[in-house]
């Protein structure tokens, strides 16, 4: 019963001072942040591809994957801006299972949060140095945001977190785009209210401080499908869903209307290979409706080196294969990125 206080963790400033970034990374982040903001505001007509493994569990495989993305990015840079998913925090429906590198730098060993905080910062820095990409991560714990706030270019708030006030208010203090997923129920009103909160200014308690935020005008929505009371997946990427979201978005006094369509999760019913078909359908909806073209700014795709997934601890361990949700393999992912560039 109760809490066991294991160790007091260093503050974000302490970790950032111990593992600093150089002027080159700062300049790169500023450039990419500006490019991403321009897409979300409509200043740029490029399309976002937020793509990568369900969970970033192995630094070598993640950097290998990002180098492959870099080669593709150079070929499609006039049409598509890639933001790699380097997700180090993983929400779990029941609280059980692998919660990401921040919990377990080695998935087969016991949790170690201090080692995890150091590992995720080092991996993100290494990823930028190797690939030239600043990346996306999921904000599972709002109090952890500042450990990575100087190196991330995009943050996602998951379906189980989006109704939480602390997540919403923390996003309101960010200076980078943040995608607010629809809740697992699929309720668009809840999702849009999270954007209203994130775009507003707030005073609240954060990491032991009374703080005030100025609002994040780049907060936007992510459609990831829903689950009904029978546990059945209900997709929300179809034309009619996008029209409905456009109408509801238009009724709100929000800045920079934008949505990203998540091609996996409940949109694919976790049938990862369906992501290619779903992406094509979304791009077709953009092509036939100018409002949807304005609304849909990108796709979120789960992809890794090897297709499918594997269980932790099972032999033989396959390099570059997801240990959480199943992902597209590299061959399919590369083809899909070229298709996106052709059709967007």
Position 93 confidence tier, pLDDT thresholds 50, 70, 90 = confident
Position 314 confidence tier, pLDDT thresholds 50, 70, 90 = confident
Strands 152-157 and 135-138: parallel
pLDDT of residue 326: 96
- Please determine, for residue 149, whether its predicted confidence score (pLDDT) is greater than 80: yes
Position 264 confidence tier, pLDDT thresholds 50, 70, 90 = very high
* 48 vs 40: CA distance, rounded Å: 9
As a whole number, the mean pLDDT across the chain is 97
pLDDT of residue 33: 98
Buried b / exposed e over 75-95, threshold 16 CB at 10 Å, is: ebeebbbbbbbbbbbbeeeee
**Structure-block tokens of residue 52:** 């990568």
CA distances in angstroms from 279 to 144, 201, 264, 298, listed in the order given: 32, 35, 10, 10
Region 37-64: what's the mean pLDDT? Answer: 97
Region 85-94: what's the mean pLDDT? Answer: 90
DSSP 59-77: HHHHHHHHHHHHHHHHHHT
Region 206-210: what's the mean pLDDT? Answer: 97
Could you count the other beta carbons within 10 Å of the beta carbon of residue 173?
Answer: 21
* 252 vs 204: CA distance, rounded Å: 24
**Structure-block tokens of residue 210:** 């009374």
| Percentage of residues in the chain having pLDDT higher than 70 | 100
pLDDT digits (tens, 9 = 90+) for 187-201: 999 999 999 999 999
Region 19-27: what's the mean pLDDT? Answer: 98
Tell me, which fold does domain 12-343 have in CATH?
TIM Barrel (3.20.20)
- For 124, residues 6+ apart whose C-beta sits below 8 A from its C-beta are 86, 88, 135, 137, 148, 151, 152
């Amino acid at each position: 019963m109760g809490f066991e206080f294991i160790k007091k963790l260093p503050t974000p400033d302490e970790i950032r001072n111990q593992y600093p970034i150089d002027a080159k990374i700062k300049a790169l982040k500023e450039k990419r942040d500006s490019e991403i903001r321009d897409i979300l505001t409509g200043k740029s007509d490029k399309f976002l591809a937020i793509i990568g493994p369900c969970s970033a569990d192995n630094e070598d495989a993640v950097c290998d994957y990002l180098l492959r993305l870099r080669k593709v990015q150079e070929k499609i840079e006039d049409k598509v801006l890639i933001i790699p998913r380097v997700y180090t925090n993983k929400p779990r429906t029941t609280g059980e299972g692998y919660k990401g590198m921040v919990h377990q730098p080695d998935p087969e060993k016991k949790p170690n949060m201090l080692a995890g905080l150091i590992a995720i910062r080092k991996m993100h820095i290494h990823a930028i140095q190797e690939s030239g990409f600043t990346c996306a991560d999921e904000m599972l714990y709002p109090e952890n945001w500042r450990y990575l706030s100087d190196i991330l270019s995009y943050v996602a708030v998951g379906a189980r977190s989006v109704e939480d006030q602390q997540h919403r208010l923390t996003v309101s203090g960010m200076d980078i785009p943040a995608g607010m997923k629809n809740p697992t129920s699929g309720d668009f009103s809840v999702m849009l209210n999270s954007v209203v909160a994130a775009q507003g200014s707030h005073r609240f308690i954060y990491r032991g401080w009374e703080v005030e935020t100025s609002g994040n005008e780049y907060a936007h929505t992510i459609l990831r499908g829903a689950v009904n009371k029978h546990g059945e997946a209900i997709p929300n990427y179809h034309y009619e869903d996008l029209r409905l979201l456009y109408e509801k978005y238009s009724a709100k006094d929000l800045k920079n209307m934008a949505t990203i369509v998540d091609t996996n999760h409940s949109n694919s019913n976790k049938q990862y290979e369906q992501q290619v078909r779903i992406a094509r359908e979304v791009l077709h909806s953009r092509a036939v409706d100018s409002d949807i073209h304005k609304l849909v700014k990108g796709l979120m795709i789960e992809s890794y080196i090897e297709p499918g997934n594997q269980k932790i601890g099972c032999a033989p361990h396959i390099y570059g294969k997801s240990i959480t949700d199943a992902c597209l393999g590299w061959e399919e992912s590369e083809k899909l990125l070229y298709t996106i560039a052709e059709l967007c």
